[in-house]
Chain A
Amino acid sequence: MTSFLKRAKYMGLVLFAVLLTCGSLQAKEAALMAEDPVVEKRLIHISEELRCLVCQNESLASSRAELANDLREEVRKLIRQDKSDSQIKEYLVTRYGDFVLYRPEVKPLTWVLWFGPFLLLLAGVVGMVFYLRQRQSGSSGKQVLTEEDRRKVQELLKSGDAP
C-alpha cells in the first residue's frame, strides 16, 4: 500500500512536470500565431487535414510536437509563395507519404479502406435477409404434426383424465 502511494506521488510529479513543459510550449506558439491573419487562416484550414507524424492521432493544426511546429512553419512559407492547397499537400506527401493525409486519396491501394466498410455492411444485410427468409419458410413447413403425433397426444390426454 505504501509503495502504491509512493508511486502515485511520483506519477503526480511527472504529470506536473509534463504540464509545465506543455505550458511553456504553448506560450511560444502564441507568439508565432499573430503574424498574418490571412496566412494563419489558410494554415489552419490546410493543417487540420494533415496528420502530425509524432503524435499520430493529432492533426498538424492541433499538435504541439516540435516537428509539427516546423512543418507548420514550412506550410506558412508555401502559403506565402502562393502555392495551392493541393500543391502544399503534394509537397508533404512526397516527403512523408499518404499517411500525412487524414483523408487519403481514393486510388486502387485505398479502395479497401474507402469501400470495405460498405461492402461489409452489404454482406451483413444480404446475410441477414437470407437467414430470416430461411427461418420463416422453415418454421411454416416443418412443424406440422404427423398422424402418429396426434394419436400419441390423444392417448396422453385420455390417460391423464382417467384417475
Chain B
Amino acid sequence: MKKFLIPLAMFFGLVIFLAVGLNRDPHEIPSPLVGKSAPAFSLHTLDPNAPLFGPQDMKGKVWMLNVWATWCVACREEHPVLVAFSKANQLPIVGLSYKEIQAQDEPAGRKLSPEEKLQMARERSTLWLKRHGNPYVLSALDLDGRVGIDYGVYGVPETYLIDKEGVIRYKRVGVVTPELLQSTILPLVQKLNAS
C-alpha cells in the first residue's frame, strides 16, 4: 500500500466537503412553518374599498403568498416571472407587501401616522404594479412587518404555497425562477389540487 495515498485521499475528502459546503446558500434556512397552518392575520389591501384580507378567506383553494415591496431590488427580477405565471391561471397569487414604507421614507423629524403610511403605501404600490404588471389577485399591506415576523420573513422576496386546509406546504426564500416553477412549484400545485 502506498503511504502517500492516505494524506492525498484526506485532502480530496476535505476538498469535496468544502466544494459542497461553499456552494450552498447560507440564506436558505429550512422553515419550521412548512407543514403548519398559515398564521392568521387581518390586513388592509391595496384596494381602499375592499374588506380586510386574511388567509382564512382562501380556505378551499391552493394559493400562493408572495412577499414583496417596491423597494426590494430582487423583486424586480422575480416580478416578470410571476406576471407570466399568473397569466397561466394555475393558482391565485396573493401579494403581501412587506414594510412598504421604510424609515427613510418618513419626512425628517416627524413620524407618519398609520393612516398616512397606509395611503402612501397604497399609492406607491399601485403605481409600481401598473408599471411592472400585476400578478396578484390582491395585495395585503403588512406595514409594520408584524405579519412578516409570524411568517418568519427575513429576506424579501419570499414565497409560500398554502393548501386547501390552510397549511403551508412550501417556502422559498429568494427569487422564484422559471426553472423553480417548472421543477418544484408546479408539480406541487398539481399534487395539492388533486388531493
1/0 contact trace for A42-77 toward B, CB 8 Å?
000000000001101000000000110011001000
Contact indicator B149/A97 (Cβ below 8 Å): no
User: Which residues of chain A have C-beta atoms less than 8 A from B27's C-beta?
Assistant: 56
A95 interface hit (Cβ, 8 Å): yes
Q: Out of B33, B102, B144, which one reaches A95, CB within 8 Å?
A: B33
Supposing A28-B103, A53-B29, A70-B145 touch, asked if A96 and B152 sit within 8 A by C-beta, the answer is yes
1/0 contact trace for B129-151 toward A, CB 8 Å?
00000000000000011001111
Cα–Cα, bound, A43→B99 (Å): 24
Contact indicator A95/B151 (Cβ below 8 Å): yes
Contact indicator A70/B149 (Cβ below 8 Å): yes
B107 interface hit (Cβ, 8 Å): no
The total number of A-B Cβ pairs within 8 Å is 39
Q: Out of A54, A74, A98, which one reaches B154, CB within 8 Å?
A: A54
Contact indicator A97/B32 (Cβ below 8 Å): yes
Q: Out of B31, B102, B150, which one reaches A97, CB within 8 Å?
A: B31
B30 interface hit (Cβ, 8 Å): yes
Contact indicator B145/A56 (Cβ below 8 Å): no
User: Which residues of chain B have C-beta atoms less than 8 A from A98's C-beta?
Assistant: 32
Contact indicator A54/B155 (Cβ below 8 Å): yes
Smallest CB gap from A67: residue in B = B154
Contact indicator B26/A97 (Cβ below 8 Å): no
1/0 contact trace for B6-31 toward A, CB 8 Å?
00000000000000000000110111
Question: Smallest Cβ distance from A27 to chain B, in angstroms?
Answer: 11
Cα–Cα, bound, A129→B99 (Å): 60
Size bin of chain B's contact surface: 10 to 19
User: Which residues of chain B have C-beta atoms less than 8 A from A99's C-beta?
Assistant: 29-30
Cα–Cα, bound, A95→B151 (Å): 6
| B contact patch SS | loop
Cα–Cα, bound, A97→B102 (Å): 26
Cα–Cα, bound, A74→B154 (Å): 14
Q: Tell me how many residues of A have a C-beta within 8 Å of chain B.
A: 16
Cα–Cα, bound, A78→B27 (Å): 27
A93 interface hit (Cβ, 8 Å): yes
Contact indicator B29/A95 (Cβ below 8 Å): no
Residue among B31, B102, B152 facing the most chain A CB atoms (10 A cut-off): B152
Q: Which residues of A80-134 have CB atoms within 8 Å of chain B's CB atoms?
A: 93-99
Supposing A28-B103, A53-B29, A66-B102 touch, asked if A95 and B155 sit within 8 A by C-beta, the answer is no
Contact indicator A53/B149 (Cβ below 8 Å): no
Question: Smallest Cβ distance from A149 to chain B, in angstroms?
Answer: 25
User: Which residues of chain A have C-beta atoms less than 8 A from B151's C-beta?
Assistant: 95
Cα–Cα, bound, A94→B152 (Å): 8
Contact indicator B29/A96 (Cβ below 8 Å): yes
User: Which residues of chain B have C-beta atoms less than 8 A from A96's C-beta?
Assistant: 29, 32, 152, 154
Supposing A28-B103, A71-B149, A74-B149 touch, asked if A97 and B154 sit within 8 A by C-beta, the answer is no
Smallest CB gap from B145: residue in A = A70
* Chain B residues close to A by CB (< 8 Å): 26-27, 29-33, 99, 102-103, 144-145, 148-152, 154-155
* Chain A residues close to B by CB (< 8 Å): 28, 53-54, 56, 66-67, 70-71, 74, 93-99
Can you list 5 contacts pairing A with B, beta carbon distance less than 8 Å? A53-B155, A56-B26, A67-B145, A95-B150, A97-B152
